[in-house]
Structures are given as structure tokens and as C-alpha cells.
């Protein structure tokens, strides 16, 4: 009978599992931090839009012999900027604009992929990632994006929080709101590029939404929300990686399934706390802003 230590440690005697875990934690951490701002800003669909929009950039970059990350970043940023321009210069609401832009660019990417064969890329790897197929060079490439983005988000967390929560107040006290707006979009595009090889276009959406939602359910303090989101993401990455090894399942989807279960647990805790609070009086542990 397998012991607990063997269950937890046996997967990591393999090099591909070690690389997969490292890249999962890197991606999970940076996605969790940005997730809190996307949830606070109401930009959950923006992560969906940018992640889908990178496909034509990947195909075009491969066609002209450029690194895929350059094309993905350019396409993601173009999607974000186009969404902002159409929102400001049309009567269409932002969520509808994002849906039109990302679906159009994603469809364009599929047409280009079918026409040119994707420049040697495998469509399933682009859509769902290939976490256990990453090399150490891929891990380093991911770290070169994820670590600076993480540092920038933490360094500017107060300014970004105020911009997402109350842009008018941020502008009134002299914060560069326009720079924060486009800076957040650039960080989002970079994060999606960092996550592509690990979890792909489709699964990065869950990693950009679930941790922030979990953090918002567990606490009302924003710094605590950031910490809760990162802890939930890292736990999901470790648990999902271990389970994928023992169940012989894909690692990326396993991580997302664990995140969904953690979200259900956080929601249940929140509902139970609210019910107990109504019975015994107002809550005191999560009421502070």
C-alpha cells in the first residue's frame, strides 16, 4: 500500500514532472495576482479576449520565422488596444466589444492555422498547453516573463488597486490613470504569453479568473485577497500536478479541476459563514475593507 509520502513525492523523481511543477507554480502565481485586479475591475472577459486573440499572432510569427512569444504578445496587445478604442468610440458596450474582437481574432487565427499548417505548431498544444513537455529552456523563458510581471504587480499593487476600484478618485489624487490602464493590459498580455506553453489559450482563462474569485470569497481585505489567491493557485498547481501523475491525466486540466473544487470549498465556507453570522450577529473577521 502506497504511503502518503510516496504518493506526494514519487511523481517528482521524474525530470518532466519537476519542470512541469516549476512552470505551473510560476504561471499560477502571476495569474493569481492579476486575477484579483481583473475581478476587482470587472475585466474577467478581458482575460478571455486576450488569450483567444493571441492565436493569429502565433501563426504569423511562425510563418515569418519569429519567436511565437513575440507574435502572441503583439496580437494580445492589439486585441486589448482595439477593445479600448472601440469601447471609447462606439455605442457598443465593453463586454460586447470584447466578445466581437476576441472571437474575430480567434477565428482569423484558426483560418491562418488551417491555411499554413500553423508553422509546425500543434493546435492542441496551443489551445491546451503541454505542461509535461516543457524543457528547462521553456521554464527559463516563462520565468523571464512571470517573475518581472509579479514584481511589478506587487510594487504597484496599491496604485493598481485604487485604479481598479475607483478610477475617478485615482485621477483626482494625481495617479497616472491612463498609464495604469494600459500598463495593466500589457501585464495581462505578458502573463498570457508566459502561460501559453504550460496551459494553453483555453485553460489560462480559468487561471486568470478562479484565484481572484476564491480570494474575494475568503476575505474583503485586498492584500489578504492577493495572498489567498496566490496560495489557492499554488496549492491547485501542486495538487493538480500530483493527481495528474497518479491518474495518468493531462496536467493543465487537472490543475483547473482542483481550482474549481477549491472555489466550491471557498463558496461553501462563505455561505456557511454568512448563515452563522445572521444567527450570531455581524461578521467581524472579514468586514474590514
pLDDT tens digit sequence for 53-96 = 888 888 888 778 888 788 888 888 888 788 877 877 888 887 78
- Among 9, 10, 34, CA closest to 186: 34
- Cα separation, 27 vs 237, in Å, equals 9
Angle, nearest 10°, between helix axes 157-165 and 222-247?
100
Q: Which residue has the cell 521553456?
A: 138
Q: How far apart are CA 241 and CA 252, in angstroms?
A: 8
Contact in structure between 211 and 35 (CB atoms under 8 Å): yes
Which tens digit of pLDDT belongs to each residue from 38-61? Answer: 998 888 778 877 888 888 888 888
Residue 287 scores a pLDDT above 50? no
Q: Which stretches within 156-289 are classed as H helix?
A: 157-165, 167-172, 177-218, 222-247, 251-280
pTM of the model: 0.85
Count of CB atoms within 10 A of residue 249's CB? 13
- pLDDT at residue 286 greater than cutoff 50: no
**194-206 confidence digits (pLDDT tens):** 888 788 887 888 8
**Rg, the chain, Cα only:** 20
Of 103, 32, 72, whose CA–CA distance to 194 is shortest? 72
Phi–psi pair at 88, nearest 5 degrees: -80, -15
Label residue 2 by pLDDT band (50, 70, 90).
low
For the chain, give the mean pLDDT: 84
Contacts of 183 (CB under 8 A, 6+ apart): 156
What are the cell numbers at 244?
A: 495528474
Q: Are 109 and 61 in contact (CB under 8 A)?
A: no
Contacts by residues 120-127 (CB-CB < 8 Å, ≥ 24 positions apart) = 120/62, 121/58, 121/59, 121/62, 121/68, 125/197, 125/200, 126/55, 126/58, 126/196, 126/200, 126/201, 127/200, 127/201, 127/202
Q: Supply the pLDDT for residue 289.
A: 41
**What residue ranges define each of the domains in the chain, with the CATH number in brackets?**
4-280 (1.10.3470.10)
Contact residues for 279 (Cβ-Cβ < 8 A; gap 6+)? none
- CA–CA gap between residue 230 and residue 62 (Å, rounded): 33
**Which of 197, 78, 77 has the alpha carbon at shortest distance from 126?**
197
Task: From residue 181, give the alpha-carbon distance in Å to each of 37, 84, 225, 278.
Answer: 11, 10, 21, 39
Residue 113 — pLDDT band, cuts 50, 70, 90?
A: confident
Provide the CA 170 distance to its chain's centre, in angstroms: 25
Task: Report the percentage of the chain scoring pLDDT > 90.
Answer: 28
Amino acid at each position: 500500500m502506497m504511503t502518503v509520502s510516496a504518493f506526494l513525492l514519487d511523481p517528482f523523481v521524474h525530470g518532466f514532472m519537476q519542470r512541469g511543477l516549476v512552470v505551473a507554480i510560476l504561471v499560477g502565481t502571476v495569474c493569481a495576482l492579476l486575477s484579483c485586479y481583473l475581478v476587482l475591475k470587472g475585466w474577467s472577459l478581458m482575460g478571455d479576449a486576450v488569450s483567444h486573440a493571441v492565436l493569429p499572432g502565433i501563426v504569423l510569427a511562425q510563418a515569418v520565422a519569429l519567436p511565437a512569444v513575440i507574435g502572441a504578445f503583439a496580437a494580445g496587445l492589439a486585441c486589448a488596444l482595439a477593445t479600448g478604442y472601440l469601447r471609447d468610440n462606439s455605442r457598443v458596450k465593453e463586454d460586447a466589444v470584447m466578445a466581437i474582437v476576441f472571437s474575430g481574432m480567434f477565428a482569423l487565427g484558426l483560418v491562418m492555422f488551417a491555411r499554413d499548417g500553423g508553422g509546425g505548431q500543434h493546435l492542441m498544444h496551443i489551445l491546451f498547453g503541454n505542461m509535461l513537455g516543457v524543457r528547462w529552456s521553456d521554464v527559463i523563458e516563462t520565468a523571464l516573463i512571470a517573475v518581472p510581471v509579479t514584481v511589478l504587480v506587487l510594487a504597484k499593487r496599491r496604485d493598481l488597486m485604487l485604479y481598479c476600484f475607483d478610477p475617478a478618485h485615482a485621477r483626482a489624487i494625481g495617479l497616472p490613470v491612463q498609464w495604469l490602464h494600459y500598463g495593466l493590459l500589457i501585464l495581462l498580455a505578458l502573463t498570457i504569453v508566459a502561460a501559453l506553453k504550460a496551459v494553453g489559450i483555453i485553460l489560462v482563462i480559468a487561471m486568470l479568473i478562479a484565484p481572484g474569485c476564491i480570494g474575494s470569497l475568503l476575505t474583503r481585505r485586498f492584500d489578504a485577497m492577493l495572498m489567498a489567491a496566490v496560495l489557492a493557485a499554488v496549492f491547485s498547481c501542486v495538487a493538480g500536478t500530483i493527481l495528474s501523475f497518479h491518474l495518468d491525466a493531462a496536467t493543465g486540466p487537472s490543475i483547473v479541476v482542483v481550482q474549481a473544487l477549491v472555489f466550491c470549498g471557498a463558496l461553501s465556507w462563505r455561505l456557511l459563514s454568512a448563515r452563522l453570522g445572521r444567527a450570531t450577529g455581524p461578521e467581524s473577521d472579514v468586514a474590514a475593507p
